[in-house]
Chains A and B, each alone.
Chain A
Amino acid sequence: MAVQSYPRSQQRTGRLERREALTFYLCISPWLLGLLLFVLGPMVASLIISFTQWDLLSPARFVGLQNYQKMFNGDPLIWQSLRVTVVYTSVYVPMEMVGGLILALLMNQRLRLFGLFRTVCYLPSVLPGVAFVIVWMWILHPDVGLLNTLLSWVGIQGPRWLADPRWALPALLMMSLWGLGRSMVIYLAGLQSIPQYLYEAAAIDGASGWQSFWKITLPMLSPTVFFNLVLSVISTFQTFTSAFIATDGGPLDATLFYVLYLFRQAFQYFNVGYASAMAWVLFGIIFALTLLIVRSSDRWVYYEGERR
C-alpha cells in the first residue's frame, strides 16, 4: 500500500510546489516587472541601438559595426577619455583602499566620542554629489578659494587648480577623497566581525601589534577588501558628477572622463547610437576587470568557513 500511495503523495507535493512557485513569482512580480521594464528592456534596446545611427528624431538607420569601428579608429577623444579614466582609477582606487582602511583602523576604537568621529567621517558621503562638488569648487577657486588662501599664508602661490590642465585631474582626485567614508564604513563592519579571541591568543603568544595586524587583521579582512575593491573599481570607472559639474571635461580635455564624453555624445550631440556603443564597450571593460579581480581572489581572499 505504501508503495501505491507514494506516487499520489508525489503528485500532491508537485501541485503544492507549483502553487508555491506561482505565489513566489506573483510576490516578486513587482520587482520582476521593474527589472524587465526598466533594466533588461533598456539594456537590450541599447545593444540594438548601438548598431544604428539615431538622433532621437529621425528614424534609426542600421549601420552594423560602424559605431564600434569609429571608436577604435577615428575618434581621438575616446582614447583621451579612456586615458583620463584609467589614470584616475589607477590612482584613486589604491588611495581609497588604503586611506579607507587607515581611517577605519583609527575609528575602530571603543572609546567615548568615537561614534561621533565615525559619523563626521561618513558625513560627506551622505551629501548629495552636486552640493559636495560645488563646495569644493569654492575651496579650489584660484584667486579667492580657501585652499590657495591657506597656501598663500605659508608663502606658497597655489596652482590655478581646475583652470590648469595639469592640476585639474589631481584637484578632482583630492575632491573625491572626501568620499573615503563610504569604504571606511564597510571596513569598520569587517573589522568588528573579527573575533576578539584571535587577538587574545596572539597576545599570549607574544605577537606585537604590527604582527597581529599582518597575520590576523588583514587576512580576516580580506573578504571586505575584496568587496571594497570591486565596488571601488566599478564606481570609479563611472566617474561623472565631479567632472560634469566642476570642469565640464576641461581644460583641454584634461578631465574628460569616459562617461562624461558618453553623456556629451548622447545628450548634447544626440549621437545616441554611438553613445550606446560606448556604453557597451565600457560594460565590457568593467566586466573584464571585475572578472580579473574575482578570479585572482582565490589567491588572496581568505574565507573562514572555507576548507582548503
Chain B
Amino acid sequence: MKRLTLVIGVLILIIAFLFGCARPERPAADVGVPPKIILRVGTGDSGEGLNPHQEIIARFENENADILVQLEAVAGRDYYTRLLTQIAAKDAPDIMQIGDDAVPMFASKGALLPLEDYIKGTYPLDTQMYLPGVLDPGRWEGKLWLLPKDFTPLGVYYNKKIFDQFGVAYPQDGWTWTDLLQTAQALTRDVDGDGKTDIWGIQLTANWTTGFEYWVAAAGGRLISEDGKRFVGYMDSPETIAAVQFFADLYNKYKVAPPPADFNLWAGGNTEFENGKAAMRIFGRWPQARYRENPNLDLGLVGVPAGKVRANILFWSGFGIFSGSKHPEAAWRFLRFYAGKEGSEVWKDWAIPPVASVAEAAGLTTDSLEGVWIRELNFLAPRAYVFTPYWNETADPALRKALETVLTDPQADVAAVMKRAAQEAQAALDEKLGQ
C-alpha cells in the first residue's frame, strides 16, 4: 500500500511538473459573446516606463471591444535574446518593441511584417503627420517596418545657477564648437584655490560610442561608407580624427570636462552635472524630468553646437508587427492607434509625441525645453547602424577601444589610434561579409 501511495505521489509530481512547463491558459471568453482577439505586445520598458503603454492599451480596448491587449514586459539586457528565442519558436508577441540599432537585424531576418500595405489598406495611416525624421529609423532597405514609440536627439543641458554665478552668457541656438570651448573654459573654476577643479565646464559621455556619432557628424565626417562595406577611409578620415581630437582635448588638453568616473555604459557614469558641479551636459532627453525637480539645477537647454556642420543624431525605439502573428490586422489596428494621434495624446504627457499636430496643440513646440528637442529634429544625420547590420559587433568595439585609449592616455596619437580602429573594424566586417 505504502509503495502504491509513493508511486502515485511521484506520478502526480511528474504530471504537475509537466503542466508547470505548459503554456499558461488564456482567459476564457464569456459564454454567448464572440471570443476576443488577444494581442500580445512585447516591450523592454519597465517600471514607470510602462505607464504610457498601459494607458494607451486601456483607451484602445475601450474603443475596440473585440480586442484584448496583453503587455509583456521584459526589462534589462535580455530583452532581445528573449525575443529572438520566441521568434525562433514562432511564439513571439504580435507587436514588438525594437530599438534603433536592432532594426536591421530583425527586419533583415524576416521577423517583421512590412507596413506599406496596411498604411494604404482598410485602416489607413497618414504618414505625413509625423515630426521630421521620426519615421526614418523604422525603415530598412526601402521598406517601413516599425512605427515610432519614443525618441530623442541630443541636446546640451545647462545649469543657469552656475552661469549666473560667474556672469557667463547662456549658450544660444546656432552656437559652434568654438563657442562651446570658450563657454566651458569660462566656467571651469577652482573655487577654493586648492589647485583642483571644483566646477567643470561640460560633462561629456566618455566611451559612449553611439553618442559619439554626433561629434563625427558635426565634424562633417561619417563612420562607414554609403554601401555599408568600408570603415577604412571613414573611421580614420581627417574629419573623424578631428572629432576624436576635439573630444579628447576637451578632457585632456583644455580640462573642461570631468574625467570619466567609469567606462561602463550600464553603470552610473559621471554625476557632476546633477550635483551642481558641472555647468553643462550633452545628453538625450531621458533625465529631463529628473533634472527639472533637482534643486541643484536651474535647468536650461540648447541644441548641440555645430562643428563644421550643424548635425544631430536620433535615439529611437518603435513597434513592429511579428511576421508570424496570427492576427496581423488586429495588430495593425493597435499599432496605428498607438503610433497615431490617439497614442500621441497619451505620450505628450510623458515624452515628445511623434505626431506633429499633437505636439503643437500641447504647446510643446514653443516650450523652452521641449521646443529645443523638436527643433533639433531638423538637423538629423543618419547613424552608422543604418548602413550595416553588423555595426554592433564590428565597428562598435573598435570605436569604444579607440575612445578609451585616447581618454586614458593623453599622449596617444589620435590619428594612429583611429587608423588602427578602422583596420580592426574593417577586418571584422570583411569576415562577416565573407561568410
Contacts and interface: CB of A to CB of B under 8 A. Distances in A.
Interface of A: 23, 26-27, 29-30, 33, 53, 55-58, 74, 137, 141-144, 160, 162-165, 245-248, 250-253, 267-271
Contact of A57 (B87, B262, B435): B87
A268 B394 CA distance: 12
Interface in B172-228: 207
Given A30-B14, A33-B17, A246 B264 contact: yes
B259 interface: yes
Contacts of B435: 53
B17 A250 contact: no
A163 B261 contact: yes
B290 interface: no
A143 B17 contact: no
Category for how many chain B residues contact A? 35 or more
A251 B263 CA distance: 6
A164 B48 CA distance: 35
A162 B268 CA distance: 12
A267 B76 CA distance: 12
Contacts of B261: 141-143, 163
B268 A137 contact: yes
A269 B262 contact: no
B393 A164 contact: no
B248 to A, nearest CB: 14
B259 A142 contact: yes
A57 B408 CA distance: 39
B392 A269 contact: yes
B132 interface: no
5 contacts: A57-B88, A163-B260, A246-B267, A248-B265, A253-B401
A269 B267 CA distance: 21
Instruction: Name the prevailing secondary structure of the A interface residues.
Output: loop
Contacts of A248: 263-267
Interface string B399-427: 01100110010000000000000000000
Nearest to B11: A26
B78 interface: yes
Contacts of B84: 55-57, 270
A163 B259 contact: yes
Contact of A251 (B3, B207, B393): B207
A30 to B, nearest CB: 5
A137 B261 CA distance: 10
A23 B7 contact: yes
Contacts, number: 94
B401 A252 contact: yes
Interface string B97-127: 0000000010001110000000000000000
A58 B207 contact: no
Contacts of A269: 392-393
Contacts of B263: 162-163, 247-248, 250-251
Contact of B111 (A29, A57, A165, A252): A57
Contacts of A247: 262-264, 267
B85 to A, nearest CB: 6
A232 to B, nearest CB: 26
Contacts of A74: 431
Given A55-B84, A163-B261, 6 more contacts: A55-B109, A57-B88, A58-B109, A163-B263, A251-B263, A267-B80
A160 B259 contact: yes
B402 to A, nearest CB: 10
B13 interface: yes
A143 B258 CA distance: 10
Nearest to B84: A56
B6 interface: yes
A48 to B, nearest CB: 15
B10 interface: yes
A30 B7 contact: no
Contact of B207 (A55, A56, A57, A250): A250
B267 A252 contact: no
B88 A245 contact: no
B81 interface: yes
A160 B11 CA distance: 59
A193 B320 CA distance: 63
A307 B424 CA distance: 60
Contacts of B7: 23, 26
A27 B11 CA distance: 9
Interface string B247-263: 00000000000111111
Contact of A252 (B10, B85, B405): B405
A233 B366 CA distance: 62
Contacts of A253: 401
B404 A251 contact: yes
